[in-house]
Amino acid sequence: MLLCVLCAARRPQADLVSFCVEGDKAGVAAALAQTDPPLDVNETTAQGRTPLFGAFKMLLDVETAQADLLANRKTMKRAGAAAQARNAELREDLEAVVCLLVFKGADPALVEASSELSPNWSLLHYCAQAGNAKRARQLLKLGCAADVQDAHGRTPLHEAARCGELAVADALVRVGCPLDARDHNGWAPLHHAAAMGRTHLCKQLLIAGASKIARNRELHSPADLAMARGHQRTGQTISTFYKESAGVKRLLTELEGDYHDGGRT
């Protein structure tokens, strides 16, 4: 009997999250209008997810799918105009749900207690992983901290560096995200970029002022990691980089077309 009561007490909040994930604007509005008892828009489900997390993460997934379709003409042709229209409509509905939740007091700076990727991820971490610079900039304008750390001590810039997301990294660097912040293994964002062979991302961080001689807990520099993992070009780029050298303007020009296009490298 007690178990049934507890489940019933939690059902309205779970329903709200379901409405958010589905982009059901009417369902979300009705749930938020409930007064007996009123719902806490920042309350988490048993899985540690707030309504805003559910809607925002689905929005990122839909936009990633749309970007993939646009990048692949054959896939876009197979999907058909109807499917593309449904995706566009869902994106608009999810955007409306996100705006409504924020208007009702949802806190975009909260971290997710338990996620499939990493405990304590913020929405900015998800933007970095998805390579969605537009949404990352929106979150930053809403006051989300660029230096928020997950359970492993990694900031969104660590994730953007690991994934090679130039545009997201640029957005984070511009608002002062620490370039040499260390995770629990002593890795700075440059270590992650180097270990994955993200040459252009490494250049971007170095130009911004990241330390190329930073050492992790095993005393490895970013160049050491790049070389050890077979990324010779990346390792050489880091080793030979000098911020005051005449080659900086050339590197800036080379990067300009990369991260403004939202590219990944």
- 150 near 179, Cβ under 8 Å? no
Q: Exposure of 199 by Cβ count < 10 A (0-12 exposed, 13-18 middle, 19+ buried)?
A: buried
Rounded mean pLDDT, 119-133: 94
pLDDT higher than threshold 50 for residue 2? no
- Which residue shows structure tokens 């991260």? 259
Tens of pLDDT along 147-202? 999 999 999 999 999 999 999 999 999 999 999 999 999 999 999 999 999 999 99
**Alpha-carbon span 172 to 169, nearest angstrom:** 5
Strand partners, 165: 264
Residue 7 has pLDDT above 70, yes or no: no
pLDDT, tens digit, 9 for 90 and up, residues 28-80: 999 988 877 788 899 888 777 899 999 999 999 999 988 877 767 665 566 66
Query: Domain limits of the chain?
Result: 8-106
pLDDT of residue 79: 61
